[in-house]
């Protein structure tokens, strides 16, 4: 399952969203907005936007995870809108009979979500009056 949402991701609720009846391992990775995002400047918030084909790009990532690893289920969630430091940006979850399969799939999913070309990002720094636009995540 894939979702793009504007509301906060609730870690307590997502476990019930992934099938785990036959899994020995259910792995969740949450990406969060950090105070210093590579530029060395202090980040206040980040504005994320999704283009029309963002769901299709997420679905492609999910299909690739299911093709490469023996998984029971995959859950990918991407937030849009203005996110403050500490807010959850995205979730990659994988359930599998094998912990190794779940970890590898999750690691790959995280790397692919970070490369999404259909998500835009505008970072707002503490020392700036204007946001800093970035082409994609």
Q: What are phi and psi of 15, to 5 degrees?
A: -60, -40
- The whole-number average pLDDT for the span 107-112 is 98
Could you report the per-residue pLDDT of 52-107, keeping only the tens digit for each? 999 999 999 999 999 999 999 999 999 999 999 999 999 999 999 999 999 999 99
47, 130 Cβ separation under 8 angstroms? no
Could you report the per-residue pLDDT of 8-25, keeping only the tens digit for each? 999 888 888 887 788 889
Supply the pLDDT for residue 16: 86
5, 75 Cβ separation under 8 angstroms? no
Burial (CB < 10 A; 0-12, 13-18, 19+), residue 16, is: exposed
For the sheet with 43-50, list strands across it.
81-84, 43-50, 119-125, 132-134
Please tell me the pTM assigned to this model: 0.87
Supply the pLDDT for residue 133: 59
Supply the pLDDT for residue 36: 74
Supply the pLDDT for residue 81: 97
For residue 97, count other CB atoms closer than 10 A to its CB.
Answer: 13
Q: Domains, the chain, ranges and CATH? A: 2-134 (3.90.1170.40)
């Amino acid at each position: 399952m894939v979702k793009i949402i504007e509301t906060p991701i609730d870690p307590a609720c997502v476990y019930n969203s992934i099938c785990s009846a036959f899994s020995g391992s259910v792995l969740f990775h949450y990406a969060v907005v950090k105070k210093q995002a590579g530029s060395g400047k202090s980040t206040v918030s980040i504005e994320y936007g999704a283009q029309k084909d963002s769901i299709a790009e997420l679905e492609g990532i999910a299909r690739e995870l299911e093709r490469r690893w023996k998984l029971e289920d995959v859950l990918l969630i991407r937030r849009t809108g203005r996110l403050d430091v500490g807010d959850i940006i995205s979730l990659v979850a994988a359930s599998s009979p094998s912990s190794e399969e779940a970890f590898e799939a999750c690691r790959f999913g995280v790397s692919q979500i970070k490369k999404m070309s259909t998500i835009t990002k505008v970072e707002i720094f503490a020392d700036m009056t204007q946001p800093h636009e970035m082409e994609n995540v």
